[in-house]
Amino acid sequence: MDDKLFQMVENMIKDGRIKIIKLEPDGIRLHISTGQENCLVDIEQSHKKLRKLFYQEYNLFLDGKQIQMIIDYLEIHPVTDTTVYQTANRIYNDGNLYAYELERETGRCIVMTETEICIDKISHVFFRHSSDYKNQIEPDWEVDVQDIFPLIHKHFNLKNEKQEKLLILYLVTAFWGLRIAHPLLILTGEKGSSKSTTMRKLERLIDPKKSDLCGLPKGSDGLELRLSNTYFVTLDNLSNISRNISDTIARAVTGGSVTKRALYHNTKEIVMDIKALVAMNGVSLIAKESDLLDRSVILELDRISSKEIKGEEELWKEFEKDRPKILGCIFLILSEALFDQEETTEKEKIRLADFHIACIKVGRVLHMTGSEVSSLLWENQKNVNRQSIDEESG
């Protein structure tokens, strides 16, 4: 039976259903293709996936001893492909090549280099997918980058024009990928200011999901897992967050790691990288810790008047009609800003300096001066500090 099992494994390696590959920065991983899905797993954590694969391919249910025997065999097996692969959540950006995954099944991406933008596949990147991952729609390329101003004004009820410009800067840089650290986005406003709806719109633009908005997971483990598996993490309708949660989010903003005990092991640890874009909303300022507030962008939403309130069906019909146009604007702006080599002259930058520089490059494409962009970012910082003081005194 052992020889027969190993022969089955070798057959699946030959036809590509099982691949042993090297990933940066994760190390050796198992790529399993069941026909319905492709997944990347640590060899030691591949019990369920291998059992499912054997059942689908050979109608054979393997017991724990047989599965462990296969895992032991795969651990000493040489890599099946000498290519060093990269991994990413939704967006890959190495400075020379940019890819935004549109479709999980086909692998189609929006691909950018310094000389072109197109829809294509890239073979050396494996995109990770959360359980609620959803494909993105194709952008409308028949737009002008300046169209983003009226489109944002139409679909987002912000306090004023400055806040709209700040949202545009945040939104375009949100597509930059995790090559830079992104600020925590905090949406505030009184009841009836469409905070959750605004969050849903941002999620549909940046990183669509099958599920609706979620609140804060119970325990730090759930939040850390979400931050590791998802590009854009939304936390809906929060009243406050603990110091521990605040520290976890601050770590995710700039990038960090957490360790967990590996499944099926008592002493072995696994390291989980947590770096993601995070957005949250609440009636008041949710974040309290200065370390997190220094890394935040706060947007204030206006209460929607009774005359402007729309039904859900009408609201989403209008937004979905314009979503391809907004995405087209974003990617066209990004195609210029990403490869902008001109130096920035602003000497004073906010704490997230790379984000500040990225915003200036986005601003250039939109004919905004560096001083105007910097003024918006510094004004935001003052607004965050002012609201924090008001919360404490109130």
Residue 60 sits in the same domain as residue 107? no
Average pLDDT, stretch 233-260? 85
Higher pLDDT, 168 or 382: 168
Task: Confirm whether 133 is domain-assigned.
Answer: no
Mean pLDDT, the chain, rounded, equals 89
Same domain, 188 and 294: yes
For the chain, report the end-to-end CA distance as a whole number of angstroms.
Answer: 73
14 lies in the same domain as 55: yes
> Do residues 214 and 359 both lie within one domain?
yes
Does residue 81 belong to any structural domain of this protein?
no
259 with 387, same domain: the answer is: yes
Residues 6+ apart with CB under 8 A from 239: 282, 283, 286
Task: Inform me whether the pLDDT recorded for 383 exceeds 90.
Answer: no
Considering only CA atoms, which of 69, 92, 105 is closest in space to residue 23? 92
Position 138 in a domain = no
The C-alpha atoms of residue 55 and residue 52 are separated, in whole angstroms, by 5
pLDDT interval class at 384 (50, 70, 90): confident
For residue 291, pLDDT over 80 is answered with no
In a domain, 139, yes or no: no
For the sheet containing 277-282, what is the strand order?
232-235, 277-282, 184-188, 296-300
Do 220 and 359 have their domain in common? yes
Residue among 342, 375, 334, 384 at smallest CA distance from 356: 375
CA–CA distance, 394 with 392 (Å, rounded to integer): 6
- Identify residue 72 by its one-letter amino acid code: D
| pLDDT at 328 (0 to 100) | 98
Instruction: Judge if 259 and 292 occupy the same domain.
Output: yes
Task: Decide if 209 contacts 203 (C-beta within 8 A).
Answer: yes
- What pairs with residue 113 in β-bridges? none
pLDDT at 393: 52
Per-residue confidence band for 183, with pLDDT thresholds at 50, 70 and 90: very high
Question: Do 178 and 111 lie in a common domain?
Answer: no
Confidence (pLDDT) at 261: 63
- What share of the chain has pLDDT > 70, as a percent? 92
Structure pTM? 0.86
Q: Could you tell me if 353 and 328 lie in one domain?
A: yes
For residue 140, is it within any domain?
no
Last residue of a domain, one of 56, 76, 96: 76
DSSP state, residue 137: P
Q: Residue 70 in contact with residue 3, Cβ under 8 Å?
A: no
pLDDT for 349: 92
Give the tokens for residue 264.
């099926």
Q: What is the mean pLDDT of residues 216-227?
A: 82
24 vs 91, more confident: 91
Q: Please give the Cα distance from 18 to 36 (Å, whole number).
A: 14
309 — pLDDT class (breaks 50, 70, 90): confident
Residue-number span of the structural domain to which 99 is assigned: 87-128
Residue 134 lies in a domain: no
pLDDT tier at 27 (50, 70, 90 boundaries)?
Answer: confident
Contact 149, 164 (CB under 8 A): yes
Q: Is residue 228 assigned to a domain?
A: yes
Domain shared by 386 and 330, yes or no: yes
Residues above pLDDT 90, as percent of the chain: 56
pLDDT attached to residue 325: 99
Which whole number is the average pLDDT over 228-256?
88
List C-alpha distances in Å: 70 to 36, 51, 250: 22, 10, 41
Same domain, 151 and 191: yes
Residue 388 has pLDDT above 70, yes or no: no
Q: What is the mean pLDDT of residues 137-151?
A: 98
Q: How confident is the model at residue 288 (pLDDT cuts 50, 70, 90)?
A: low
The number of domains in the chain is 3
Both 103 and 248 in a single domain? Answer: no
Q: What is the CATH number of the domain that holds 359?
A: 3.40.50.300
Least confident of 50-54, 357-361, 376-380: 50-54
Hey, which residues does 21 pair with through a beta bridge?
Answer: 29
* 82 domain-assigned: no
